[in-house]
Amino acid sequence: MRLPPAGRLLLQHQQQQTPPLRPLSKLALNNKKTMPPNPQLPALVEVERLSPGCIRILAGNPGKFTLQGTNTYLVGNGARRLLIDTGEGRPSWIAALTRTLRDERATVDAAVLTHWHHDHTGGVPDLLRAWPGVKVYKKHQPEDEAEGGEQQKLLDIADGQTFRVPGASLTAVHTPGHTADHMVLAWEEEGALFTGDNVLGHGTAVFEDLAAYVASLEKMGRLFFGGKGGRAYPGHGAVVQDGPAKIAEYIRHRAQREEQVVQMLRADKADATLVQGVAAAGEGEGTGDDKNTWTVMELVRSIYRDVPESLHMAAAGGVVQVLQKLLREGKVVEVDDGERWKLVGRSVL
């Protein structure tokens, strides 16, 4: 089956848990609101000071998968700042960054990219055009070498590498899951964590490798320095005030989704209370054991029956990840050349 594009964000539960923050600064930061594509999401202002050492600049790319747009962060309190992510190359972003740096009488010392996705790296050319001396870092991946070009100009990030400017010491930690090259940044002075796209301000995130993702979430939960605050600054969406609690919620959510897949595989598809619409969808050309074998989309339609169908393709990526994890653990088998899945030990009758 065709998988959704890697790294797209899945909005499953758009609950708002974080009250909007008021700017702490007297500075005339830009107050332009970016309207979220989903009215349930809180509006965020284009440039906002979130703490004495952190200003968020939105990338100007709101959408179904990017929430209010990609967050970029200017970190530190001196004349040299660190920039986290660069948006996707919209003119509004480089203009907002330029204005903010002028107001702050500061320059960007280095930019650190959380992962390779275009909505985080697309602003690099604009950044380098405006400030040719900026060092841009991204964790190298073996495939980067093959790709050549732009990726090779970026400086590699070592796991545990620390970036320092006045007011901010950020330690980069390799946390694969959303992507293989994904890095989060632990901020020592504030006891906060820049979570990239592994943890978002609203809903849940998608991932390329479930086992690696859950291991990374567990690692991230331990990266908040000494309980000094514990905020999570996500790649998309509002600030999360209690980062460790949100990460624990993400871990629980993944375990629940895995359990739901197992329960579906255990159920009889004929049970209409469990599987609304699956029979009607006409899948499965009656191979006799259809009752106990499931296609990915049958599982998605059953598990995500309360989620708009437009998000089912994105959800399928997560279900495939669960099935592959269960396959490695010997709990499921593939049938019909991987078209269908069955719980190990289930009768086919």
Which residues of this chain interact with Zn ion, rule CB under 5 A?
A: 119, 197, 235
CA angle 23, 24, 30 (to 5 degrees): 40
The residue (of 137 and 294) whose beta carbon lies closer to Zn ion is 137
- The dihedrals phi and psi of 40, each to the nearest 5 degrees, come to -75, -15
What is the 8-class DSSP label of residue 308? -
The residue (of 12 and 169) whose beta carbon lies closer to Zn ion is 12
For residue 119, indicate whether it is catalytic: yes
CA–CA distance, 244 with 249 (Å, rounded to integer): 9
Q: Determine how β-strand 107-112 pairs with β-strand 135-137.
A: parallel
The residue (of 176 and 235) whose beta carbon lies closer to Zn ion is 235
Task: Single out the residue of 125, 33, 124, 54 nearest to residue 85, CA to CA.
Answer: 124
The residue (of 116 and 341) whose beta carbon lies closer to Zn ion is 116
CB of 71 to Zn ion, least distance (A): 9
CB of 119 to Zn ion, least distance (A): 5
- The active-site residue, picked from 85, 109, 119, 144, is 119
CB of 197 to Zn ion, least distance (A): 4
Distances (CA, A) of 184 to 22, 73, 139, 188, 324: 25, 13, 11, 13, 25
CB of 31 to Zn ion, least distance (A): 24
CB 198 within 8 Å of CB 190: no
CA–CA distance, 242 with 197 (Å, rounded to integer): 17
The encoded tokens of residue 102 equal: 């002028």
Residues belonging to the active site: 119
